[in-house]
Amino acid sequence: MSASYKSLPFDVPTYLAGVRRWVECESPSWDGEAVSRMTALAAEELRASGAVTQHIPGRMGFGDCVFADFSPEDKRPGILVLGHLDTVHPIGSLVSRMPWKEEDGRCYGPGLYDMKGGNYLALTAYRELRKAGIALNLPVRFLLTSDEEQGSPSTRELIEHHAAREKYVLVPEGAEPNGRLVTGRYPTRRFQLWVHGKETHAFLQREDGKSAIIAMAKALVNIDGLNGPECSYTPIYLEAGLKIASVPVSAYAEISSTAKEDRLLEEAFQKLHHVIDEPGITAEVRIKAARPTWTPGPQDEEIWQVARGVGEELAIALDHEMLFGGSDGNITGAIGIATLDALGPVGANAHQVTESIDLASIAPRGRLLAGLMATLK
């Protein structure tokens, strides 16, 4: 009897031992050197698994990326596994607030759920297919990037370039607790807000100054007041002042927004220009990063139907949805490439110290990924 993806082993302890190396190579988005170390580690494993890799130097202060081709002699459009290696957790999280641990059927660690666990599971799925001698219909390639958690400002063109050459894109982002796959995502924007005041001595000329910190505080309260059912505004970063006895002249904030339509985010950009109206204070607003709407198309329905069929073969009841929470799937889906997202382990609490994956989901999701790689034509 020929081997089948349905019977691939996916030994959970072996998987955890491998992905732990990735998790313990901490890689916050804003630390380009740390992300590049993670990229080098991933590239080493990709090559050991039979891929020819291309090192892609980082841009705009972000870390390096890696492209891996497991069939470089096959030039046909194929399957692109698209993931990111950056996380939201600062260096030292492993020892200070979120150590690696396995407990009550779950595994915890910085970036395990979002999304090193899914990346490693996709690589494991490919390796298990090759080990079992299961033939693939299409070439498989990986693109692992460095700035997704920042909105992919430096890699969007890179992602579009590689995705446009493929027939399908698989995004192994961690799945929500409901286990649903994602066939569309709503748009996001990351805005930058600068506030400029007037610098004076904090004791001798305080009344002559214009505090950028006070003005920014008022602006953030006004921004919070813009939240509504159609569009959200979440301040996510703030810096101001020089730790000296001066009325601060500048302040900077970043605001993350999402809505159901790009039009609403364009309106959000305009509204941010009016959150400060104070004599002596000036403000500047820019768009740092933007994810377009990924509206499900017929090509996404096609890949979903394949996934549903694989799920039936595996006795997994699958469903799908259009979801908030941007990913690089927004980028590939928006340019019309058949994209399937949230293929990684089922988990919970992304971007929190309690982020984790469900150990019972590892083998089924691994077989699902393997089944897609083996079945897509």
The set of catalytic residues is 86, 148
Q: Under 8 Å CB-to-CB from 21, ≥6 apart: which residues?
A: 41
Rounded Cα gap, residues 324 and 335, in angstroms: 18
Q: What is the DSSP string of 280-333?
A: T-EEEEEEEEEE--B---HHHHHHHHHHHHHHHHTT----EEEESS--THHHHH
Backbone angles phi, psi at 285, to 5 degrees: -125, 135
Nearest CA to 367 out of 190, 134, 105 is that of 134
267 DSSP 8-state letter? H
Instruction: Find how far residue 158's CA is from the centre of its chain.
Output: 15
238 DSSP 8-state letter? E
Torsion 199-200-201-206 (CA) sign: negative
Q: Give me the residue label for tokens 């590892």.
A: 362
Q: Would strands 79-84 and 140-145 be described as parallel, antiparallel, or unpaired? A: parallel
Rounded Cα gap, residues 122 and 104, in angstroms: 24
- Alpha carbons within 13 A on the beta-carbon side of 225: 11
Q: Are 283 and 195 in contact (CB under 8 A)?
A: yes
Q: Please state, as a whole number, how many other Cβ atoms lie within 10 Å of the Cβ of residue 178.
A: 9
